[in-house]
A and B are shown apart, each in its own frame.
Chain A
Amino acid sequence: MNDIVIEIKNLFVNFARYSALENLNLSIPGGSFVSVVGPNGAGKTTFLKVILGLLKPNQGSITILGKQTDELSPFDLGYVPQVKTLDRSFPAMPIELVSTGLKAKWPGKMKQKDKKPVMEILEKVGAGNLAKRPLNKLSGGELQRVYLARALIRKPKILVLDEPATGIDWIGENDIHKIIDDYKSEFNATIIMVTHDWEAAYHHADHVLMLNRHILCFDTPDKAFTEQCLRQTFGHVGHRHEMIFVGRHHD
């Protein structure tokens, strides 16, 4: 298969005295689709931030595309952050936010030739009609699409998504996953997606990473979604576990 694009060795991250990630060891081959699942506070976002170079590990090493995180170009990685309370007072339009994906800086007066690719990608994620609305008037799901467009426009080798389908309606959710799948096959990109949606993880990913401070399982969906892995990761399994197995019988 492809070369390893993300290599993590004995990685620890602490916040003051709280240890968020402990002794992670992981190799992710290029072109894979990894779903990261785990309970709230498991360290999933922290894990992504280490990949993005926003957090330095307290111990251990991480190599991405053969480089240290601070040697990477901004264009190597695309990032869709976890839906958060946007600064609603900042005057901006979706085309501007998406253009930061292309330029890695905030745009001044946008030129026509820069607007064209931005409009195309916004159309693609189903947000073409939003391009010039005030950013602070968008709904959570609309905002999520704009952030996805921002990440895709730079055509990154590695796409990092933190719960990208949160707040998106059911039809829209399928659209979003299709866009991600298409992007992956078109560019042979590596996808790292945090999700609470086990079904999406099961159907779209080729690897599932179960995380709860430690890596508890890292395997194909069939081998990762076992009662044992789920119990180790979540403490208990709950009724959603049944749904996965129902889904599995359909396949």
Chain B
Amino acid sequence: MIEAFMQSFMLRAMLAGILVGFMSSYFGVFIVQRRMSFMGSGLSHAAFGGVALGILLSTEPLWIAIPFTIIASIGITLLKDKTKLGSDTSIGILFAISVALGIIFLSLKRSYTADAFAYLFGSILSVQTSDLIVTMILALLTVLTFFFYWSRWAYSTFDRELASTDRIHVTIDDYVLNILLAITIVVSVKLVGIILVAAFLVIPAASARLIAGTFFSMTIISICLGVISSIIGLITSYIFDLPSGATIILVQALIFFIAIAYSKVSIKESI
């Protein structure tokens, strides 16, 4: 065990897991309360398109996937704002385009790429030092938003119009949120996998919602659950040699069911 943790790949994975768990469970509270979980799916599949392009160009996929996903997130927001389409429709369209592009890009790269699989399902072995640096920078930015954006995002999540009457620029704030969300999704993909990233964003926040009485406590609880489940999940996945992303998600799901049981019990007690 101990030696395992001394191994640098495991250390990297653990650090990445904690940071990614923190960021996605933090942004997750806005996703859950704004009913944007489909946005998470849309952006992770946009990330797939970006990753595939990176693989095709034989560069570090992250550098392509980040701008690719940011553009997709801006595209979704623009399409929603400028047309009569609902956000689910605009996400669905960009989702399909990105996956289609991704498939074409991968098929153009004739040689077989094991890489693509790592991205689909997530792998702790794939976390590089460069990923870790990007993740740390993003985590730092995320901490900063806690001081400068949290209360504004919270306000406009509660009621956009009321927040606007208090001179909060809700539209600009939405873009900031969506761009940070896009980057968070891309950096989470290596560890969790494209298929599961959306769930990874939603489950800790949903569990926190069941327990919390205020949006602030929901945020704090969600972050704690996100970080704890990453740690437990990574250790379990190492011991039993299981895929990291899937294991973390199952730990999150376990906590979710405990939260349901807890909220039922506490309602009974209060009656």
Report A's interface with B, CB cutoff 8 A. 52-54, 72-74, 77, 79, 81, 86-87, 89-93, 96-97, 100, 104-109, 134
Contact = CB atoms under 8 A, between A and B. Distances in A.
B214 interface: yes
A93 B165 contact: no
A96 B214 contact: yes
A91 to B, nearest CB: 5
Nearest to A109: B216
Contact of B33 (A52, A86, A89, A107): A89
Secondary structure at the A interface, as helix, strand, loop or mixed, is: loop
**When A and B form their complex, which 9 residue pairs have the shortest distance between CB atoms, in order from nearest?**
A106-B154, A106-B155, A105-B151, A104-B166, A74-B166, A106-B151, A108-B216, A74-B167, A52-B165
A91 B152 contact: no
A15 B217 CA distance: 40
Contacts of B224: none
Contacts of A90: 33, 157-158, 215
A79 B150 CA distance: 23
Nearest to B153: A106
A97 to B, nearest CB: 8
A54 B214 CA distance: 27
B264 to A, nearest CB: 16
Contacts of B162: 79, 81, 100
Interface size class of B (residues with CB under 8 A): 20 to 34
Given A74-B167, A100-B166, A108-B150, A134 B213 contact: yes
B161 interface: yes
Interface string B187-226: 0000000000000000000000100111111100000000
Contact of A79 (B154, B155, B157, B165): B165
B194 to A, nearest CB: 28
Interface string B146-178: 000011101101110110111110000000000
A52 B167 CA distance: 10
Contacts of B151: 105-108
Secondary structure at the B interface, as helix, strand, loop or mixed, is: helix
11 contacts: A74-B165, A74-B166, A81-B162, A89-B209, A91-B209, A92-B158, A93-B213, A96-B214, A104-B168, A105-B166, A106-B155
Nearest to B35: A89
A153 B164 CA distance: 18
B167 A104 contact: yes
B165 A91 contact: no
Contact of A77 (B165, B168, B216): B165
A106 B158 contact: yes
Nearest to B218: A91
A70 B213 CA distance: 34
Contact of B215 (A54, A77, A91): A91
Nearest to A74: B166
A89 B166 CA distance: 22
Given A106-B152, A107-B151, A91 B214 contact: yes
Given A87-B33, A106-B215, 12 more contacts: A53-B167, A54-B164, A74-B167, A81-B162, A91-B212, A93-B214, A100-B162, A100-B166, A104-B168, A105-B155, A106-B151, A109-B216
Contacts of B168: 104-105
Interface string B29-42: 00001000000000
Contact of B216 (A86, A87, A107): A107
Contacts of A105: 151-152, 155, 166, 168
B159 A91 contact: no
Given A91-B209, A96-B214, A54 B152 contact: no
A91 B30 CA distance: 12
Nearest to B157: A90
B161 A92 contact: no
